[in-house]
A and B are shown apart, each in its own frame.
Chain A
Amino acid sequence: MYINYLANIGRYVPELILVVLMLGLILLEATYDENEKDKKYIFITATIGLVLALGALIANLGGKPEAIFSNSIVVDSFSTLMKITMVLGTFFAIYLSRISKDIYETLKSEYAIMAVGILIGGFILASANNMLMVYIGIETLSILSYVMASFKKNDHRSSEAGLKYALYGGISAGIMLVGLSHIFGVLGTIQFAGIAGSIAKLDKSQLFILMPSFILFFAGIGYKIASVPFHMWSPDVYEGSPTPVTTFFAIVPKLAGLAVLVRVSMIFMGDASLLQYTWVGSLMAIAALTMTVGNVSAINQKSVKRMLAYSSISHAGVMMSAVVVMNNVGIRSIVFYGIAYLFMTLVAFFITSIVEDQYKNDHFERFQGLVYRYPYMAIMMAIAMFSLTGIPPMAGFVAKFNILSALVQSKYYSLAVILAVNSVVSAYYYLKIVRIMILKNQEANDNIKEFGFLNQMVIVGLTIPVIVLGIFWQNILALAEGAKLFIQ
């Protein structure tokens, strides 16, 4: 038994690196004086740790898929790719926290520690292979998130965000737990593969009993992805939290939740059955609603951050609609979308954060005439916005095209049309920023200090993949194509 664990530990190196990194960061933080402003070694250590984790993940990518630790954790190419995306997101979020004024100087080291902690939760979720791991992953992810959301201690909106997040999170975790225990009670196993095997043997009436518990199970995941109807917390939390935290929330927990959703859907609902029919039907409805509600609510926002929050809800809806198709094409397009989403969201949040720091608020007007002061930054923001809309030759278009083609291939024409129409709706509010930045005349003439050379380079560096993925996407698609689920 113990030997088994040790034999498997080789595949678990990325997670181990992160755990060591988190502990190391905590210890390192303790060596600093309490009022020390610039704790740069924290940042350097975090960078090294994340790069090591990334290296370990890339090394893992080629290996054969297997389930380790008595089948509780599965290491396959899908989870590894999702983890790579999450690590990149975390790294850039930590970078953003360094330059942001939205987080107290003294808390920046804690931000890094918690981000790594949440990342561990995300890793657990991405490779969870039984119900217990899902629950542990979600809780790891959530508890640290609540703290992170209320990082601005003196800002009542931030405290509100934290409290709201915690209340919603607690309730949905509870609901999920009810669902999980019911499933366990009926089927007698918590292993995904075991559940899938038992489901296949059930008859119609038994499935009928089981169905509600899967819906309850979905509540927990849906809350993490912020899908309708579990999305209410998200705009308030996104707006109230400091911007680097919002950036992080928009990427890591969302992708982790999606990873679980994909795995659960594919394993449980693989066979054509009543259960699959219901699950797919509800997912379709939820995906369509999530896109639409996200987009329609985003239109009238005055705060850019809140607009981006709603837009991220709608993007989650788009990704969910690729879960509906339940095949490898769907998985491929989700992974590709995740990668594209990572870069365009980062660019959008980086620039928003820097502009917000300058003016202390993030209303649309703050972007007015940005192109006359920082032409390159305005162009990068415009590229990110066009990419989020889904206009070629940007990555967002290719990602949407992939999902659209997955839907059409499986003959979900209705969802495809809803997705297409939603793109047009989203064009309106994304264009609004472009319009304000570029089409309006310049009014303010201030220099924005934080647009230093290095930051501009980072933003440009994040934008280049947005364009490259939109033109030369063959290789990345091939990479995403390798994302196969391993079921055992």
Chain B
Amino acid sequence: MHGLDLLSLILWMPIIGMIGVLLFPKNNETGMKTWALINTIITFALTLVLYCKFDQTVSGMQAAFNVKIPWIKQFNIFYTLGVDGISLPMIILTGLLFMLCILSSWTQIKKSVKAYFALLLLLQSTVFGVFMALDFFLFYVYWEVMLLPMFFLIGVWGGENREYAAVKFFLYTFFGSILMLVGIVGLYYVTGQSVDSFNILALSGGKFMSQTVTLFGYSLSFSKLFFIFMFVGFAIKVPVFPFHTWLPHAHVQAPTAISVILAGVLLKMGTYGFLRIAFPIFPDSAKYFSTAIAWLGLINVIYGALCAMAQTDVKKLIAYSSVSHMGFVMLGLAAMTVQGMNGAVLQMFNHGTSTAMMFFMIGILYERSHHRWIVKPDGSRGYGGLYTQLPVYSIIFIIGMFASMGLPGLSGFISEALIFLGMYERFTTITVLALFGLLIGAAYLLWMFKRMFFGDVNPEVKEYEDMTKVEVLYMMPLVVAVIVFGIYPSPILNIMKASVGQLVSLLATF
């Protein structure tokens, strides 16, 4: 496509926004916020345009949107963008959540407003880059650049222990990605440095089954070793047990909007990496390790849920529930069946909306109470009786909670049901065990709800105001998404069907 193409426009729009924010005079905070909001609205509108133009019958990358411009000749690195049924839901989710985050940060951020909004927009662009890049090098660059705004957003605007959380987040992710870099470089040379050596699509298809490498004197299968490198890189992001320990810290310390982005979009980058890179490029190893992945997914589900149950900090509880829910995605991926994969991609989207809701709601509550304890460290109740005091808040909270619990009629149910359907045949034991995860999930959420919303009204709670109009306004899109996609998930399923089917049939040949 000549001239300005849609994908590049979406990708660079937030950068334009960032430059605009930086150009605003320092004291004109309303101006820069409005500008950032308008920018994200335009970006979201563009992602919807992309949705409308998207051809749902085509599997693989849609030729109409592809961009390919040479970047570094010597290494055959290209600026390649593309979109298919797996990345499109993520792109739309990114567009939506960042728009809402700008609104949510409007009053919550008081320190260095300019830098905050500039970094947030930079983050949006890098997230788009990860979901759009089809050149491995470009993908890696976006994957890494994403760390920088995130590091500062957690580290500067976070809670008390923010430095520790930011550094831990950075080091964990950096460790994972540097292993991925070794993998990328390895692939480049195994394919003979050809024009397609960084082309994610051309690398796919299991071409590396018979290669071997020598590492510290041991001869190893190229495919298996590099699959593990990639797996660790992506697993840290998901996060898969035992690489999950950075997540609770990052979530608890991050400001609301950043928690939303982290849970809603960034975690999905990990599973997206499996779908786009690790599985298609090393289908044989993916198949080989699929049982192990399923077990890890199961540990995530159960362990995350149990940890969530033990928390007294609401935000930490939701953070651990993310660990548990991302475990379902891993299970769906490991199943490698049509239903399982579809369920996994759908769960990525649905978890994005429902967890985002939960984090937003906690942020709204935090603005009123300035703490997040269900049970305070001294043993007294943090909240109690919220239901009678904040009716609107409670209703929206309930919707979000049930959606993330997986109640039929709300979005979480469909994706989880699909995952279980998909994996039952291959991993019967794991499926049965994972169902207990759902049970524990219901238990910790309801228990939390009981302790916060029911019971005697805590005197502190009486002073809280109910949600303002703006807050209701920015929760509405998510409420609608959670309900609509719970009843009628076809709009998303139709997008992803063809692309997921292609991946499943590729995996089935190994």
Contact = CB atoms under 8 A, between A and B. Distances in A.
Interface of A: 386, 389, 391-393, 397, 401, 404-405, 408-409, 411, 413-414, 416-417, 420-421, 423-424, 427-428, 431, 434-435, 438-440, 473-474, 477-478, 481
B166 A392 contact: no
Contacts of A417: 182, 215
Given A416-B182, A474-B73, 12 more contacts: A391-B145, A393-B145, A413-B213, A413-B214, A414-B215, A427-B171, A431-B170, A435-B167, A439-B155, A439-B162, A439-B166, A474-B71
A477 B76 CA distance: 13
Contacts of B71: 474
Given A386-B148, A401-B181, A424-B174, A435 B166 contact: yes
B152 interface: yes
Contacts of B166: 435, 439
Interface string B188-221: 1100010000000000000000000111110000
B144 A391 contact: yes
Interface of B: 71-75, 140-141, 144-145, 147-148, 151-152, 155-156, 162-163, 166-167, 170-171, 174-175, 178-179, 181-182, 185-186, 188-189, 193, 213-217
A431 B151 CA distance: 10
A169 to B, nearest CB: 36
Contacts of A392: 140-141, 144-145
Given A435-B155, A474-B73, A408 B141 contact: no
A435 B73 CA distance: 36
A442 to B, nearest CB: 11
B15 to A, nearest CB: 12
Contacts of B152: 438-439
Nearest to B186: A408
Given A391-B148, A438-B152, A427 B174 contact: yes
Contacts of B186: 408, 413
B189 A409 contact: yes
A286 B58 CA distance: 54
Given A392-B145, A393-B145, A411 B185 contact: no
Contacts of A439: 152, 155-156, 162-163, 166
Contacts of B179: 420
A405 B147 contact: no
Given A438-B152, A439-B162, A474-B73, A424 B171 contact: yes
Nearest to B215: A413
Given A393-B141, A408-B186, A414-B215, A420 B167 contact: no
Main secondary structure of the interface of A (DSSP, over half): helix
Contact of A427 (B74, B163, B170): B170
A420 B189 contact: no
B74 A408 contact: no
Nearest to B75: A405
Contact of A435 (B163, B182, B193): B163
12 contacts: A408-B182, A408-B186, A413-B182, A417-B215, A420-B178, A423-B174, A423-B178, A424-B175, A435-B166, A439-B162, A477-B72, A481-B74
Contacts, number: 90
A478 B213 contact: no
A199 to B, nearest CB: 28
Sort A-B residue pairs by CB-CB distance and give the 4 closest, nearest first: A439-B155, A392-B141, A408-B185, A420-B178
B258 to A, nearest CB: 14
Given A386-B148, A413-B215, A439-B163, A477 B185 contact: no
Contact of A416 (B155, B174, B185): B185
Contacts of A421: 175, 178
Contacts of A477: 72, 74
A320 B475 CA distance: 56
Contacts of B189: 405, 408-409
Given A424-B171, A435-B163, A404 B156 contact: no
Q: Which of B151, B166, B171, B181 has the most CB of A within 10 A?
A: B181
Contacts of A473: 72
Contact of A474 (B72, B147, B214): B72
Nearest to B225: A413
A474 B77 CA distance: 10
A404 B74 CA distance: 15
A428 B171 contact: yes
A393 B214 CA distance: 31
Nearest to B74: A477
Contact of B144 (A397, A405, A409, A440): A397
Contacts of A481: 74
A414 B220 CA distance: 12
Highest count of chain B CB atoms <10 Å: which of A401, A417, A420, A428? A420
A420 B73 CA distance: 24
A404 B185 contact: yes
Contacts of B141: 392-393
A420 B177 CA distance: 10
A405 B155 contact: no
A84 B342 CA distance: 57
Contacts of B72: 473-474, 477
Contacts of A424: 171, 174-175, 178
A438 B156 contact: yes
A187 B170 CA distance: 54
Nearest to B172: A424
A468 to B, nearest CB: 13
B299 to A, nearest CB: 25
Interface hub of A408, A421, A477 (most chain B Cβ within 10 A): A408
Nearest to A413: B215
Contacts of B170: 427, 431
Contacts of A416: 182, 185
B360 to A, nearest CB: 25
A394 to B, nearest CB: 10
Contacts of B147: 391
Contacts of A386: 148
A321 to B, nearest CB: 14
Contacts of A431: 151, 167, 170-171
Nearest to B71: A474
Contacts of A428: 167, 171
B185 A474 contact: no
A481 B72 CA distance: 13
A420 B182 contact: yes
Nearest to A428: B171
A404 B171 contact: no
B176 to A, nearest CB: 9
Contacts of A414: 215-217
A392 B138 CA distance: 10
Contacts of B171: 424, 427-428, 431
Nearest to B144: A392
A269 B181 CA distance: 30
Contacts of A434: 151
A152 B170 CA distance: 40
Contacts of B163: 435, 439-440
A439 B150 CA distance: 13
Nearest to A477: B74
Nearest to B222: A413
Contacts of B73: 474, 478
A250 B223 CA distance: 41
Nearest to A410: B189
A434 B74 CA distance: 33
A268 B253 CA distance: 57
Contact of A420 (B162, B181, B214): B181
A367 B278 CA distance: 42
A434 B188 CA distance: 33
Contact of B214 (A389, A409, A411): A411
B411 to A, nearest CB: 35
Nearest to A420: B178
A424 B181 CA distance: 12
Contacts of B175: 421, 424
B253 to A, nearest CB: 11
> Which of A392, A427, A473, A481 is the most central at the interface, judged by chain B CB atoms within 10 Å of its CB?
A392
